[in-house]
Amino acid sequence: MPNAQFAVFGAGGIGGYFSAVLTRAGYRVALIARGQHLEAIRKSGLQVYSPKGDFTVGLAQATDDPAEVGPVDAVILAVKAWQVSDAARAMRPLLKAGTKVLPLQNGVEASDQLEQVVGREHTLIGMCRIITAVAGPGAIREAGVQPTLALGEPDGSALAPSARALAEALAAAGVTVSTPSDIRAALWEKLLFIAAVSGAGAVARATLGELRQCPPVRELLQELMIEVEAVARNRGIHLTPDVVSRALAFVDLMPATGTASMQRDIADGKPSELEAIIGAVVRFSDAGGVATPAMHYVYASLLPQEHRARKTV
């Protein structure tokens, strides 16, 4: 699929970054954005600030209306976790026979929510590891950690042509791409990492460096990982025996000043992905009868702030 066209739905840190590197690599990308962010991108291009080198790209198309783009070969879905269903309904003009949609939300429920709207034939399972944030209208800041991305078909079959084309394009753009034999296990391994880092970081109001250097907080971090592992195994997910030790080792390699996106949203008083990350583990543990006292503590500690941000109390 040498002339594949891609769309990225959502122009936050992740969507903006992948739009930029794909465009820089020579691929035609349509970005679905909104507000001041969209206006700045249209006027001055999309800027990326990175320790690896700053750059600016002019996207093939930037719009808030998917109908202006029309059908594409593959879509990267990069909205927040609670926006997946609405975004899936809005992206229908982007779909044609064979179009695949790659959800990159935190948590483990996005692909199921996507499938309920657009059908399994359009749905992939995906996850990424990257530290990015919106630095201002039309600008993305990337922390310098090598971006990695994994994707797969929900039924474990070989990638469809459009999904394979997207994977090859991302690899050509400098992203480390994998297609695990068990994509659901990979997704839960990511949840184990991000739930622990987000939860401990938000409760302690600490950076990654502070999390790993303060023994009581590092102990909390590890306990949260152990609890997610227990929930995953209860649900039949086949995680490797060393999943927690590898996750802790990865924390030790990350930039000391880094923080998780959920943690940053909570600190800024914004709606966050608390329910998709921490809340999901709590719901699954309750349903499976798995004790997760540390995760329940983190959830209870952060829920009032989430309610304030969403103005539900």
Alpha-carbon 128 to chain mean position: 6
pLDDT digits (tens, 9 = 90+) for 272-288: 999 999 999 999 999 99
| Predicted pLDDT of residue 267 | 95
Token pair, residue 302, equals: 């952060």
Instruction: State residue 282's pLDDT score.
Output: 98
What's the CA gap between 128 and 14, in Å, rounded?
9
pLDDT for residue 131: 87
* Tokens 């790659």 belong to residue: 102
CATH classification at residue 48: 3.40.50.720
Q: Which tens digits make up the pLDDT trace of 61-98?
A: 999 999 999 999 999 999 999 999 999 999 999 999 99
Q: What is the pLDDT of residue 311?
A: 86
Per-residue pLDDT of the chain (313 residues; tens, 9 = 90+): 556 799 999 999 999 999 999 999 999 999 999 999 999 999 999 999 999 999 999 999 999 999 999 999 999 999 999 999 999 999 999 999 999 999 999 999 999 999 999 999 999 999 998 889 899 999 999 988 899 999 999 999 999 999 999 999 999 999 999 999 999 999 999 999 999 999 999 999 999 999 999 999 999 999 999 999 999 999 999 999 999 999 999 999 988 998 998 999 999 999 999 999 999 999 999 999 999 999 999 999 999 999 999 986 5
Partners of 2 in the β-ladder: none
Overall domain count for the chain = 2
Cα–chain center distance at 43: 27
Q: Are residues 198 and 303 in the same domain?
A: yes
**Residue in 2, 3, 24, 20 with CA at minimum distance from that of residue 11:** 20
The answer to whether the beta carbons of residues 74 and 96 sit under 8 Å apart is no
Is residue 143 located within the same domain as residue 291?
no
CA atoms within 13 A of residue 44's CA, in its CB half-sphere = 10
Tell whether 214 and 142 lie within a shared domain: no
Nearest 5°: the CA angle 153, 156, 158 is: 70
**pLDDT given at position 312:** 60
Q: What does the alpha-carbon distance between residue 7 and residue 64 come to, in Å, rounded to a whole number? A: 12
Residue 1's pLDDT is 54
Whether residue 115 is found in the same domain as residue 42: yes
Residues 172 and 244 in one domain: no
- CB-based contact 147:230 (threshold 8 Å): no
Residues of the domain holding 221: 184-310
- Is the same domain home to 247 and 104? no
Closest by Cα among 255, 254, 260, 231 to 243: 231
The pLDDT of residue 75 is 98
C-alpha span between 42 and 38 (Å, rounded): 6
The residue among 159, 181, 203 that closes a domain is 181
Quote the pTM value: 0.91
pLDDT score, position 136: 95
Strand ranges (E), the chain: 5-9, 28-32, 46-49, 55-57, 61-63, 74-77, 100-103, 125-129, 132-136, 139-142, 148-152, 176-178
C-alpha to C-alpha distance for 262 and 132, rounded to whole angstroms: 12
Domain-ending residue, one of 118, 148, 181: 181
Strand order in the sheet with 61-63: 61-63, 28-32, 5-9, 74-77, 100-103
